[in-house]
Amino acid sequence: MDTFLYLLLFLSLFFTPLLSHSQPNRFLKPLLHGNRHQEYIELSYPPPSHEPTPSCSHQILHHSFANTMDSPPYTTLYSPPSHCPPPWSRAVIHFHAKSKGNQYDRIAALWLAGAELLRTSTAEPTDSGIFWDVRKDVTRFSSLLSSSNLDLTMMLENIVNREFTGVYHVTVTLLFYNEVPFNPPPPCPERLNSNRGSISRSRSLMGEPTVTGSSELYDSPADLIIPISDDGERGFWFRVEDDRDVGSRKIQIPMNTQRVVLELCVSFHGNDEFWYSNPPNAYITANGLATGRGNGAYREVYVTIDGDVVGWEVPFPVIFTGGINPLFWEPVVAIGAFNLPSYDIDLTPFLGKILDGKDHVFGIGVVKGISFWLVNANLHLWLDHESTVVQANEVTHHSPETSVERQGEFTGLDGHFGVVAEKETQVSGWVSTSKGNFTTVISQGFAFSNVIKFQHNGTNKMVKQKFKAKKKMKVMNEKGELVSRLRVRRKYPLRFISVTEPLNERYKLYTNFSHGFEEKYVGRCFMKSVSNAQDSNGWIEVQGHDVLSGEASTKQNYSYADMFNCYSRDVAAANGRVFYDDSSFLCENSL
């Protein structure tokens, strides 16, 4: 990853041939905005001030990541706390990190028995030091967290020498809650007639007990979690170098599995860190640009079983803390930078393909991907404890290839390029369990568009991207009665404008960047929505490896709402300081 390491390559792709040949691969961000010890934040819900007091806490990792590049990940043994045994109603990871000195941002992940619990990235430190905290609900991993003597592994590759002095000190603590036992939710009419705020605080902060994207048929955590991951010698993620590279693992699924959800974990680095702004290879070749940032501006991560595609995602374009303009992310980081999103793919309709007691190859690849992507996944399995064997039918599957259309033209370094992609799929299958025969039907699709424009000999650049996705899932019993229903809609808007002004051996880069993450879930008995948007403006002056000066501002609006809770927060920061921060728990609009 090392976002700032690659920023000059990013710049050199879009500007004059002189700049593209003269810029180095790396430069450092000096302390421009004061000399105070400072906290960095990513907006999320619930805010730490409104978290309930945990029943107990359990520190599971405390380690300093110094010169760890090309070294094995740090591993220690994990067991649940003896003073707070399972079962728990809720479990939360509290990830705390601090650093001081000069350093690039780094990608990191935390795995338990090879299953990824958290993917995160670091902030770039200052001479006075910075710190940050990440909280992530990991209740869905309760079956793993209840087990003893498991390997807990963290990967954070870092370089420390005379120039790069920042060491990342990390402490990870698990917070367990027991106030509210994990029970199935009450019947739908009672839930739908409830007023917001009528449930206990602990329950409201749990949110819906279902896992993200899951049906309400099984809303307890999975009975078994199997990682789709590498061997762990360099972390448990697969490193995908090109679109022919597929990370894979053979897995035998228990024959009494009644439901399976694949949780996909991805991040993009190197030549594909800014994949949404990559031009076609023809543009790079014709202009003699010394960069590998090509293959156009569309990427799709796909999942296979025995070579057949069974799921896909266009990932949210996370910006790491050195990206675009590193001064944007002081001290409010980009959406998802500290808690990268994962993506749920319900594979229950495919159980008829894999419930045969044999090994099956689960694979993950990236359409048009170039070096490099880090991908792995967790299989969450729900078992029928009243049966040793579950019957399932062969899947009814309609999944055409993604329709992708590309166009564009250029003269020299000026030109414009567009790509439009869309997909519509439907899959269904039934599972016969001790509780009855259930049919799951999933239909989903997306629309993607991206436009890149270069003007003024490549020194002016514009990127505009839109992504909209929808998913509908329903589960019916043998009588055709609706048991569960879920609708999901997501949007990832992105807009980026930059202007480069050459100044002899220096140059100024002026940038405007905005992006957003919108997501809405509507189930048979619940609703939840998140809206998160950032807008950043600024400039930096660069010479050689160094940012000589710069100014930046970022505004962000975050809002969350469900059937019982509302929360919104508006933050504005400029030149390393937060100058406006207002939050509210009032519900202004209904879902």
Q: Which two tokens stand for residue 23?
A: 């810029």
Q: How confident is the model at residue 505 (pLDDT cuts 50, 70, 90)?
A: confident
Average of per-residue pLDDT values in the chain: 88
User: Which residue carries 């206990």 as its tokens?
Assistant: 200
Cα(228)–Cα(237) distance, rounded to whole angstroms?
Answer: 9
Bridge-partner residues for 503, per DSSP? 506
In a domain, 351, yes or no: yes
Cβ contact 15:508 at 8 Å: no
Q: Span 546-563, mean pLDDT?
A: 92
- Per residue in 39-96, pLDDT tens? 999 999 988 888 889 999 999 999 999 999 999 999 999 999 999 999 999 999 999 9
Cβ contact 326:7 at 8 Å: yes
Query: Residue 397: is its pLDDT beyond 60?
Result: yes
Query: Quick check: helix, strand or coil at residue 441?
Result: strand
In a domain, 196, yes or no: yes
In a domain, 589, yes or no: no
- Torsion-angle region of 6 (φ positive above 0: left; ψ -120 to 50: alpha; else: beta): alpha
Q: Span 264-271, mean pLDDT?
A: 96
Query: Quick check: helix, strand or coil at residue 9?
Result: helix
E strand or H helix at 467: strand 460-476
Cα(451)–Cα(409) distance, rounded to whole angstroms?
Answer: 12
In a domain, 591, yes or no: no
E strand or H helix at 354: helix 351-354
Predicted model pTM: 0.91
Bridge-partner residues for 584, per DSSP? 568
- Per residue in 101-152, pLDDT tens? 989 899 999 999 999 999 999 999 999 999 999 999 999 999 999 999 999 9
Q: How confident is the model at residue 192 (pLDDT cuts 50, 70, 90)?
A: very low
Cβ contact 140:57 at 8 Å: no
Reported in sequence order, the residue ranges of 101-167 that DSSP labels E, i.e. its strands, are 107-112, 115-121, 130-137, 150-156
Cα(95)–Cα(483) distance, rounded to whole angstroms?
Answer: 38
Q: Which two tokens stand for residue 264?
A: 């996909």
E strand or H helix at 514: strand 506-523
Q: How confident is the model at residue 37 (pLDDT cuts 50, 70, 90)?
A: confident
- Per residue in 426-476, pLDDT tens? 999 999 999 999 999 999 999 999 999 999 999 999 999 999 999 999 999
DSSP structure string for 518-578? EEEEEESS-EEEEEEEEEEEEEEEEETTEEEEEEEEEEEEEEEEESS-EEEEEEEEETTEE
Number of domains in the chain: 1
Query: Residue 217: is its pLDDT beyond 50?
Result: no
Letter for the amino acid at 9?
A: L
Beta pairing, strands 130-137 & 38-40: parallel
User: Which residue carries 């064997």 as its tokens?
Assistant: 389
| Residue numbers of the domain that contains 285 | 3-584
Beta pairing, strands 403-411 & 414-433: antiparallel
Query: Quick check: helix, strand or coil at residue 360?
Result: strand
Cβ contact 257:391 at 8 Å: no
- Per residue in 81-92, pLDDT tens? 999 999 999 999
- Calculate ∠ Cα 76-81-82, nearest 5°: 125
Give which of 132, 38, 121, 96 is closest to 575, Cα–Cα. Answer: 38
Query: Quick check: helix, strand or coil at residue 274?
Result: coil
Cβ contact 161:122 at 8 Å: no
- Torsion-angle region of 415 (φ positive above 0: left; ψ -120 to 50: alpha; else: beta): left
Rg (CA), the chain: 24
Please state the φ and ψ torsions of residue 66, each to the nearest 5 degrees. Answer: -105, -110
Give which of 532, 214, 488 is closest to 344, Cα–Cα. Answer: 214
DSSP structure string for 224-250? EEEEE---BBTBSSEEEEETT--EEEE
E strand or H helix at 497: strand 494-503
Q: Which two tokens stand for residue 343?
A: 């993506």
Q: How far is CA 298 from the centre of its chain?
A: 17
Q: Which two tokens stand for residue 199?
A: 């449930």
User: Which residue carries 């009419």 as its tokens?
Assistant: 189
**CB proximity list for 305: less than 8 A, separation 6 or greater:** 347, 350, 353, 354, 360, 361, 362, 363
In a domain, 223, yes or no: yes
